[in-house]
């Protein structure tokens, strides 16, 4: 059943997006004592965390882009140039991000999403455990969410 009291629009609207985000955040904060306790603390905001590997010429050999939020590191991108793969660069980048997150930002966990053709095996070797598998996302590909407890 469609409610005829509303007009639906589908254009991208950044101002409405921001308003919706604020209202959802307020609703979630009101409903969750955990989120309420975070309000106004440094842990409430996402903080970027980037680690770069530069070769002898100063060119990008690899990097990790992520952020920390509350006590979690979220790895968004991890990439090593093909010429440097298999030499431990990815492991080094990830370990440095985990170290910074744990020691400088009091993170206790890390999470990452990866596709089946990317690096689920790599993350398992680094101590990550699969907590979610989404088949056909996108069609023909499986997405994995993995987490790790940082020590």
What pLDDT score does 103 carry? 97
Mean pLDDT of the 116-136 span: 98
pLDDT of 105 over the 80 cut: yes
Between CA 112 and CA 68, with CA 83 as vertex, the angle to 5 degrees is 25
* pTM, full prediction: 0.85
What pLDDT score does 40 carry? 82
pLDDT of 62 over the 80 cut: yes
Mean pLDDT of the 32-44 span: 84
Closest to 148 in 3D by CA, of 135, 133, 130: 130
pLDDT of 81 over the 70 cut: yes
Closest to 148 in 3D by CA, of 104, 78, 99: 99
């Amino acid at each position: 059943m469609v409610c005829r009291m509303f007009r639906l629009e589908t254009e991208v609207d950044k101002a409405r997006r921001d308003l919706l985000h604020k209202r959802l955040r307020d609703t979630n904060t009101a409903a969750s004592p955990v989120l309420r306790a975070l309000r106004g603390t440094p842990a409430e905001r996402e903080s970027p965390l980037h680690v770069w590997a530069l070769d002898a010429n100063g060119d990008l050999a690899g990097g990790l882009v992520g952020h920390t939020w509350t006590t979690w590191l979220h790895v968004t991108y991890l990439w090593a140039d093909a010429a440097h793969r298999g030499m431990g660069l990815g492991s080094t980048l990830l370990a440095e991000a985990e170290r910074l997150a744990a020691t400088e930002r009091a993170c206790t966990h890390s999470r990452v999403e990866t596709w089946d053709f990317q690096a689920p095996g790599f993350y398992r070797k680094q101590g990550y455990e699969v907590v979610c598998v989404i088949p056909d996302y996108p069609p023909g590909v499986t997405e994995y969410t993995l987490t790790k407890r940082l020590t």
